[in-house]
Amino acid sequence: MTSTERTPRRTRQRTEIRDAVEASNSFATSQEIHDRMRHDGSTVGLATVYRALQAMAASGEVDSIRTPDGQIAYRTCTPGHHHHLVCRSCGRTVEISLPGLEEQTRKIAGQYGFAEIDHEVEFFGTCADCSSK
């Protein structure tokens, strides 16, 4: 491990934040997670929630997406590369795989001389339950 790599400390605050993220089946912003924690009696500050979620996303402990309104939202997901369908109304999130997308992405990148490609694909729409309301 280099001097710039650090193992995240397992603190009470980080555990509370992780538990709050795991309690939801949809993506939630730092503010939403903090509000949920305060409602449950937590005293963890909003700045701590922001910092912890950023670190957890950087380490791959949680997934993060940019919402249509530009906020970052977080969720625990299954390991491995995948994409999401996200309901604009209720936030319901479904993990999806897109066979062939990875190969197609590398092919397109190569055509333009790009290497070491990363990508995020999120689809935003309205789930069946919200559409029927």
* CATH 3.30.1490.190 location in the chain: 80-133
CA-to-CA separations, 109 to 50, 98, 103, 106, 118, in angstroms, rounded: 33, 17, 10, 5, 10
In tens, the pLDDT along 46-98 reads 999 999 999 999 988 898 998 888 899 999 988 778 888 989 888 888 889 88
Nearest to 11 by CA among 46, 44, 57, 38: 44
Question: At 8, is the pLDDT very low, low, confident or very high (cuts 50, 70, 90)?
Answer: low
Residue with tokens 């209720």: 90
DSSP assignments along 14-49, one per residue: HHHHHHHHHT-SB-EEHHHHHHHHHHTT----HHHH
* CATH 1.10.10.10 location in the chain: 1-77
**Fold category of 1-77 in CATH:** Arc Repressor Mutant, subunit A (1.10.10)
Q: Which residue has the higher pLDDT, 79 or 32?
A: 32
Kindly state the average pLDDT of the residues 23-34. Answer: 91
Under CATH, which number does the domain 80-133 receive?
3.30.1490.190
Predicted local distance difference test score (pLDDT) of residue 53:
96
C-beta separation of 122 from 83 below 8 A: yes
